Chains A and B, each alone.
Chain A
């Protein structure tokens, strides 16, 4: 189980996360929606300390980290239990598709090269990229790059996969293939926390939808409840604007 308690983040005197509390069950898929600039990315980035939270508790399985006094070791431990899929893919530019997947397995998790490569080849097969194993990111389409990005995250067998608008940077023609891959990740009962503007996809994949505004969780519930019968006026306004 994953628990966030009082997670708070300020940039200067701009409070971007105002004491977020959230519990995520193993295997649960949560989609976070909300207007631009409300702290959705920051929430994800605070969980693995890409942004350092100012206060709060982050707990993943038996690991509990108090943000205010997190050590370098705590931060590495959190990062090794999470996987992150970036909006702009962020593939290692100096590594091939296959090496992007093996890199952390060997360097961080101490797997043998052979073991890591076997895993990478399986994942490249699952993501439909076997023929691109030796290609560098610059030679891949956006959709292919993001599939490698998801593959790199899948390989980590993380307790929690974080997706920050994985399709927002894509040309419309590549969105479908990336969402398809995410559906397949979901089938493996992977715990997922997803920020997306793809409302149809959210409705279909989420166990729970969270609506955020102004650094707070305004409303959350089953996708039908949030999309078909939102309780809060702010949720209604937002959904009216985006659908």
Chain B
């Protein structure tokens, strides 16, 4: 066993930190898009529009049923061969597309379950005052479902942040890609990957803290 090169590790921290913004940006953009798509999918699953419902089920089944890495390769390397307009697609865009679609499938299921769990009285009261389906969903049902789904959704966001590391396989230099390059130069693989692991870990812990604040806020209305 050899001693850890602590000096190298400390020097590496600011280098990798420089790529944190890209990692967080990819995860955040994907999260926002995935939330929107997942909410639409979930509402559709609850309302069940005839033909559309089949397609939504198929979509969810596919994106849950295949590995994220396979989906990323499909978007980045595969689709441009079939659709020439996609030849311009860069790694970051492909990663965001993959993460968005993959996680929207998972999130749709948790949002759907949360929607269905909203008490019947809330649906009836919304209907009784004359709300349209869309008003009822947007104003009453989804906000209440959000509270139930929030912890799960934050967990998916955490998965998503870690999932961005796969973007390095599409040639994107994000935290993982940068670490890989540094390690290849120094041959200090162990040190490099320990540093990047700790940085991911810190980000996730910070997020868990935000998660607790968020849950407190969402639960405010229900406190006695």
Contact = CB atoms under 8 A, between A and B. Distances in A.
Contacts of B125: 84, 86, 90-92
Given A86-B124, A92-B140, A94-B143, A104 B130 contact: yes
Contacts of B87: none
Nearest to A107: B135
Contacts of A156: 129
Interface residues of B, number: 23
Nearest to A89: B121
B124 A93 contact: no
A1 interface: no
Given A107-B131, A108-B130, A108-B135, A136 B124 contact: no
Contacts of B124: 50, 86, 90
Contacts of A82: 128
Size bin of chain A's contact surface? 20 to 34
Contacts of B221: 93-96, 136, 138
Contacts of B127: 48-50, 79
A138 B224 contact: yes
A118 interface: no
Contacts, number: 73
A103 interface: yes
A108 B135 CA distance: 8
A68 interface: no
A84 B125 CA distance: 8
Nearest to B141: A94
A238 to B, nearest CB: 28
A64 to B, nearest CB: 18
B54 interface: no
Interface of B: 119, 121-122, 124-132, 135, 139-140, 143-144, 147, 220-224
Given A90-B122, A92-B140, 20 more contacts: A48-B127, A48-B128, A50-B127, A50-B128, A80-B130, A83-B129, A84-B128, A86-B125, A89-B121, A93-B119, A93-B144, A94-B143, A94-B144, A94-B221, A103-B139, A104-B130, A104-B131, A136-B220, A136-B222, A156-B129
Shortest 3 CB-CB contacts between residues of A and residues of B = A104-B129, A90-B121, A84-B128
Interface of A: 48-50, 76, 79-80, 82-84, 86, 88-96, 103-104, 107-108, 136, 138-139, 152, 156
